[in-house]
């Protein structure tokens, strides 16, 4: 199931039903959400490269670009990723045609600690997710996995801090999921803007 409307110009039907922006914002941001059902349709190398290119252009402190991506798209590569996913995530993520582990360099090139490496990796993930939505792809970021097992199986060096695993693919049918997951297969809402903004200081 791919997007049937231009995600930059219009909201999808399901997003219209579940999400209402309080202020003017591009439909692209509301159309991006994190489904779990994937179809068997493969992601082209061109589209995969495109979403990684978008991630590459994320902002970072001192332009250090601390993000690193470990990509699984072949059967053997995906099998290795499945081994370190949590049982809950593995149930649905096994059907995703692409899995990406995002990690970040803990130190800067001069050896100093990089206090913003995780923050910057998050910015890269945001770019990746938005570009994927523009291409009609779905993404879902997970932190439910065994990081040490991932480090072992993927030979991730110690200088990298493992952040998340991202599934990438085309939407599948909701009915393909476990019944309990079907109930959650909808775009989530957000807290009111006034709950997350503090002008100057937080009021007592």
Strand partners, 138: 169
Does residue 2 register a pLDDT over 70? no
Q: Quick one: 73 and 168 in the same domain?
A: yes
Task: Kindly report the pTM of this predicted structure.
Answer: 0.94
Q: Which domain holds residue 16?
A: 1-31
Query: In this predicted structure, what is the pLDDT of residue 5?
Result: 78
Q: Is 202's pLDDT higher than 90?
A: no
For residue 4, the model assigns a pLDDT of 65
Q: At what angle do helices 45-56 and 117-134 cross, to 10 degrees?
A: 140
In a domain, 11, yes or no: yes
Q: What is the pLDDT of residue 3?
A: 57
For the chain, give the number of residues. 204
Alpha-helix runs per DSSP H in 85-172 = 87-93, 117-134, 147-154
**pLDDT at residue 19 tops 90:** yes
Question: Could you tell me if 68 and 166 lie in one domain?
Answer: yes
Tens of pLDDT, residues 38-88: 999 999 999 999 999 999 999 999 999 999 999 999 999 999 999 999 999
Torsion angle in degrees (nearest 10) through CA of 31, 84, 183, 44 = 40
């Amino acid at each position: 199931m791919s997007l049937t409307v231009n995600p930059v110009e219009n909201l999808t039907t399901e997003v219209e039903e579940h999400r209402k922006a309080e202020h003017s914002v591009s439909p692209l941001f509301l159309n991006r959400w994190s489904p779990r059902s994937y179809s068997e349709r493969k992601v082209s190398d061109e589209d995969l490269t495109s979403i990684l290119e978008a991630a590459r252009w994320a902002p970072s402190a001192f332009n250090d670009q601390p993000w690193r991506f470990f990509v699984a798209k072949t059967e053997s590569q995906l099998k290795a990723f499945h081994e370190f996913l949590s049982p809950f995530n593995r149930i649905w993520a096994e059907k995703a045609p692409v899995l990406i582990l995002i990690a970040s360099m803990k130190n800067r090139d001069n050896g100093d600690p990089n206090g913003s490496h995780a923050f910057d990796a998050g910015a890269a993930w945001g770019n990746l997710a938005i570009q994927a939505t523009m291409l009609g792809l779905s993404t879902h970021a997970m932190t439910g996995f065994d990081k040490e097992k991932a480090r072992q199986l993927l030979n991730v060096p110690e200088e990298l801090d493992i952040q998340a695993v991202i599934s990438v693919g085309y939407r599948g049918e909701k009915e393909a999921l476990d019944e309990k997951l079907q109930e959650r297969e909808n775009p989530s809402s957000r807290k009111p803007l006034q709950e997350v903004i503090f002008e100057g200081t937080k009021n007592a």
